[in-house]
Amino acid sequence: MTDLSSVQVAPAARPSPPVRPEYERPLEPLAADSVDTVLSLHQRLWQRAWLRKSVILVALALLWQVVATVQGNDLLLPSFTQTIRAFVEDIASGVLPVRAMYSLDVLFKGYVTGVVLAFLLTTLAVSTQIGRDFLSTLTSMLNPLPPIALLPLALLWFGLGQGSLVFVLIHSVLWPLSLNMYTGFTSVPETLRMTGRNYGLRGLRYVFLILVPAALPSIIAGLKIGWAFAWRTLIAAELVFGASSGRGGLGWYIFQNRNELYTDRVFAGLITVILFGLLVENVVFRQLERRTVAKWGMTR
Amino acid sequence: MDGLSAFAPQAGADEKNETVGGAALSAPLLSVENVTLEYRAPGRVVRATQNVSFDVWEADRFVLLGASGCGKSTLLKAVGGFIAPREGQILLDGHPVHGPGPDRVVVFQEFDQLPPWKTVRENVAFPVRVSGRMSRKQAAERADYYLEKVGLSRFADAYPNTLSGGMKQRVAIARALAMEPRVLLMDEPFAALDALTRRKMQEELLHLWEEVRFTLLFVTHSIEEALVVGNRIALLSPHPGRMRAEINSHEWDLNSGGSPEFQAATNRIHGLLFEQPETAGDIRA
C-alpha cells in the first residue's frame, strides 16, 4: 500500500481487467472415447519387479562365471555352474535338505519364542510405567550386544545342542522386535485409541482388536528385522559349533565342507542360506504386507 | 419449520408456542452439573473449564460454541467419559458417567478415527458387535441400513483409505448412529472438510436428525454452523471455559443463511463471545 501511494501512478496507467459478458450453458456430455494408450510389450514387461530383479540375478551369475573362468582356481572360486552342480547333487542326495530342515527347526523354535516374549514385554511396557522403564533399559543394554558374544555363556548353561542355539536366537529376535513393537504401539493415533475405548473395549481385547492391527506396520517391520537377525545369528552360531551327535544345520554344512576343501559345496551352502533369505523376505513377508498393511493403505 | 420436539424449557414458550407438550420436560437426558475440568500439561495443571452446567434433552441438537481454548472439546471428552471431572458431575439418564462406553459415541474431527484395517461395512458393524448387543449377521444388517442412510451403500466393501474426507466422516456418522447411543457426541466433525462438503454434510446431518431423532451434542467454533445445526447453543468463554449464555437457534436452518435476522443472531453471538465485560482482574487458573 505504501508503495503504491508513494509511486503515485496515474489512474489511467494502472491495468484493470475488462468486464466481460457472463454466460451459462448446459454441461457438455462426457467424451465417449477414453484416451487409454496401451503400453508397448517391452514397457509392460519392464514394470514387473520380479523380471527386473531376475535380470539383475542373471547378470550377477554371468559376472561370477566370467570371473571364475578367468581366475581358474576351483579351490578359491568355483564357477557358477560348478556351484549349481554341487547344489543339485547335495539336494538330490538329501544332505542339504536335512541340514536346512535342522536349521529351520531351530530357527522356528527360537523365533517363535522370541516373538511371544517380545509381545509380553511390550504389552507390559505399554500398560505400566515400570514395564516401560524395564523395556527401555533392557533394550538399550542388550540390543547392541551381538548374540554370538553370548554363545560361550549359552554353551556353558545349556551345553552343546539346540538349547544354546535357541537361547542366542531368542536374544537376537527379542530386542529389535520389542523396540519396533513398542514404537508401533506408542504411535497409534490418539483418536483411534479413544474410538476403541468408546466401543467399550478393555484389556486384552483392546490390545488385540485395536492396538495390534493399528501398530501392524511397525510390528511387521520388527518381524522382518528379527527374522534377518535370527537367520544370520543361527548360521554364524552353527559355524562356531553347531553339530551335536552328528546332526547340524546349514552353518555346520558350510564349515564341514570348508574343512574338506569342497569350496563348491561351501558356495552351495551359502546359496541355500541366501535362497531362504530371499524366500522369506520376498514371499512370506511380502505376501503378509500385501494382504494387510498395503491393502489397508497403511504403507505403500 | 418442522415440529420441534426439543426446545428450551425456560425460553422456548414465550417465543413461539410450538410443541410445548411432551414427556421430554420430565427430566433432561444429559446433565452437566458444575463441572470443572483440568488436564496436566508438562509441569502444570491447566484448567479447561470452570463450573460449567447445562442440560441436554431428548432429541436436542445442543451445540457447544466458543473460541479455541474454551474447553469445549475437553467438555465433550468428559461427557464421552475419557476425562473425569475435577469437580461436579455428569449425569446420563440420572446416572453418573464413568469411563467411555457405547451409549455415548463420539464422532471426531480427525479422519483416522476409522480403523483402516476394516472395510466400511465392518467399520460400522464392528462396534455394534463388540459392544455385545448383536450377532455378526444382525450387526452387518444394521450397518447396511445406516450406510444406506448416509448414502454409502456402494462403498460398503471399500477400505477407508480409498475414501474422501467427507465420505470418511459419513462412515463415522453411520457408525455412531448404528450403535444407537443415548447421546451422539460430535467434536467439530466437519472442521477438516472443505466449505462445500461441510455445507452438504450439515444438510445431511439435519436430514438424518429428521429421520432418526437422535440426541446430539455438537462442538464447533463456527457461529454459522452452530446456528444452522443446533436448536440450542451454549456459549463458552475461553481460559478457562465458563458459561456465557445459552440461546435458542431452532428457527434457523441452512436456508436462513443470508437473512437479516440470521445476521443479527450471528452478531449477537459474536458480541457475547468476544466482548469482555469483566476487567483484567480476572484470575486465570
pLDDT digits (tens, 9 = 90+) for B22-32: 444 578 889 88
Confidence (pLDDT) at B99: 87
Contact residues on chain B for A209, CB-CB shorter than 8 A: 130
* Mean pLDDT computed over every residue of chain A: 86
Chain B touched by A195 (CB under 8 Å): yes
Contact residues on chain A for B181, CB-CB shorter than 8 A: none
- A241: pLDDT strictly greater than 80: no
Mean pLDDT value across residues B94-108: 89
Q: Are B102 and A200 in contact (CB < 8 Å)?
A: yes
Chain A touched by B159 (CB under 8 Å): yes
Confidence (pLDDT) at B258: 77
CA distance A132 to A138: 10
- Cα-Cα-Cα-Cα dihedral sign, residues A260, A262, A268, A274: positive
Confidence (pLDDT) at A172: 92
Altogether, the residues listed in chain B come to a count of: 285
The interface predicted TM-score of the complex, written ipTM, equals 0.80
Please answer whether residues A188 and A215 qualify as being in contact, where contact means their C-beta atoms are separated by less than 8 angstroms.
Answer: yes
Backbone angles phi, psi at B63, to 5 degrees: -110, 135
In terms of CA atoms, which chain B residue is nearest residue A189?
B112
Confidence (pLDDT) at A12: 64
Asked if residue A97 has a cis previous peptide bond (ω within 30° of 0), the answer is no
pLDDT band at B11 (very low <50, low <70, confident <90, very high): very low
CA distance B1 to B253: 9
Confidence (pLDDT) at A11: 60
Of all helices (H) and strands (E), which one includes residue B88? strand B87-92
Contact residues on chain A for B115, CB-CB shorter than 8 A: 192, 195, 210, 213-214
Partner residue facing B159 (CB), from A200, A209, A296? A296
- B19: pLDDT strictly greater than 70: no
Contact residues on chain A for B99, CB-CB shorter than 8 A: 197
Please answer whether residues A181 and A219 qualify as being in contact, where contact means their C-beta atoms are separated by less than 8 angstroms.
Answer: yes
Q: Residue B217, SS3?
A: strand
DSSP B155: G
Beta bridge partners of B235: B65, B245
CA distance A100 to B174: 53
Contact residues on chain A for B117, CB-CB shorter than 8 A: 213-214, 216, 292, 296, 298
Contact residues on chain A for B105, CB-CB shorter than 8 A: 198
Nearest to B75 by CA among B42, B45, B97, B101: B97
Quick: pLDDT tens for B109-147. Answer: 988 899 999 999 999 999 888 887 788 888 888 899 989
Q: Which residues contact A114 (CB under 8 A, 6 or more apart)?
A: A169, A170, A171, A172, A173, A174, A177, A226, A230
Residue keyed to cell 484389556: A203
Chain A touched by B210 (CB under 8 Å): no
DSSP B189: T
Confidence (pLDDT) at A298: 84
- B12: pLDDT strictly greater than 60: no
Q: Checking DSSP bridges between strand B242-248 and strand B87-92, what pairing results, if any?
A: unpaired
- Cα-Cα-Cα-Cα dihedral sign, residues A277, A283, A287, A289: positive
Q: Measure the CA angle with vertex A281, ends A278 and A282; round to 5°.
A: 75
Concatenate the DSSP letters of all residues of B6-47 into one string.
---TTTHHHH--S---SGGGS--SEEEEEEEEEEEETTEEEE
In terms of CA atoms, which chain B residue is nearest residue A212?
B117
Distances (CA, A) of A263 to A79, A82, A251: 10, 10, 14
Residue keyed to cell 460398503: B156
CA distance A197 to A209: 11
Chain B touched by A290 (CB under 8 Å): no
Partner residue facing B116 (CB), from A194, A201, A298? A298
CA distance B113 to B92: 24
pLDDT band at A19 (very low <50, low <70, confident <90, very high): confident
Distances (CA, A) of B98 to A83, B2, B78, B191: 70, 36, 9, 28
CA distance A45 to A35: 21
Q: In chain A, what are the helix, strand and coil shares in percent, each to the nearest 5?
A: 75, 0, 25
The nearest CA of chain B is from the CA of A293 a distance in Å of 8
Q: Is the pTM of this model over 0.90?
A: no
The nearest CA of chain A is from the CA of B219 a distance in Å of 16
Angle between helices A263-279 and A80-93 (to 10 degrees): 80
Instruction: Check residues A1 and A192 and name the one with the higher pLDDT.
Output: A192
Cell of A53: 530383479
Q: Residue A8, SS3?
A: coil
CA A159 from centre of chain: 32
Q: Are B159 and A200 in contact (CB < 8 Å)?
A: no
CA distance B214 to B208: 9
Q: Are B113 and A192 in contact (CB < 8 Å)?
A: yes
Q: Are B131 and A297 in contact (CB < 8 Å)?
A: no
* Mean pLDDT computed over every residue of chain B: 83
Residue keyed to cell 523395556: A135
Largest CA distance in chain B: 61
Q: Which of A23-37, A117-131, A222-236, B210-224 has the lowest mean pLDDT?
A: A23-37
Residue percentage of chain A with pLDDT more than 70: 92
- A289: pLDDT strictly greater than 70: yes
- B190: pLDDT strictly greater than 60: yes
Q: Which residues contact A115 (CB under 8 A, 6 or more apart)?
A: A173, A177, A223, A226
Q: Are B126 and A199 in contact (CB < 8 Å)?
A: yes
- B262: pLDDT strictly greater than 90: no
CA A206 from centre of chain: 27
Confidence (pLDDT) at B5: 41
Contact residues on chain B for A192, CB-CB shorter than 8 A: 112-113, 115
Give the up-direction half-sphere exposure of residue A35: CA atoms within 13 A in the CB hemisphere: 1
**Segment 65-94 of chain B within 8 Å of chain A by CB:** 77, 80, 82
Quick: pLDDT tens for A73-113. Answer: 888 889 899 899 999 999 999 888 988 898 899 999 999 99
Chain B touched by A214 (CB under 8 Å): yes
Mutate to test the interface with A, among B104, B112, B169 (most CBs of A within 10 A): B112
pLDDT band at B281 (very low <50, low <70, confident <90, very high): very low
Confidence (pLDDT) at B2: 42
Q: Are B110 and A295 in contact (CB < 8 Å)?
A: no
Residue keyed to cell 535338505: A97
Partner residue facing B159 (CB), from A191, A194, A297? A297
Count A/B contacts: CB-CB distance under 8 Å.
66
In terms of CA atoms, which chain B residue is nearest residue A191?
B113
- B202: pLDDT strictly greater than 50: yes
Rg of chain B (C-alpha set): 19
Chain B touched by A298 (CB under 8 Å): yes
Please answer whether residues B113 and A192 qualify as being in contact, where contact means their C-beta atoms are separated by less than 8 angstroms.
Answer: yes
Chain B touched by A197 (CB under 8 Å): yes
- B267: pLDDT strictly greater than 80: yes
Give the up-direction half-sphere exposure of residue B156: CA atoms within 13 A in the CB hemisphere: 17
Confidence (pLDDT) at A33: 65
Q: Checking DSSP bridges between strand B242-248 and strand B183-187, what pairing results, if any?
A: unpaired
Q: Are A295 and B126 in contact (CB < 8 Å)?
A: no
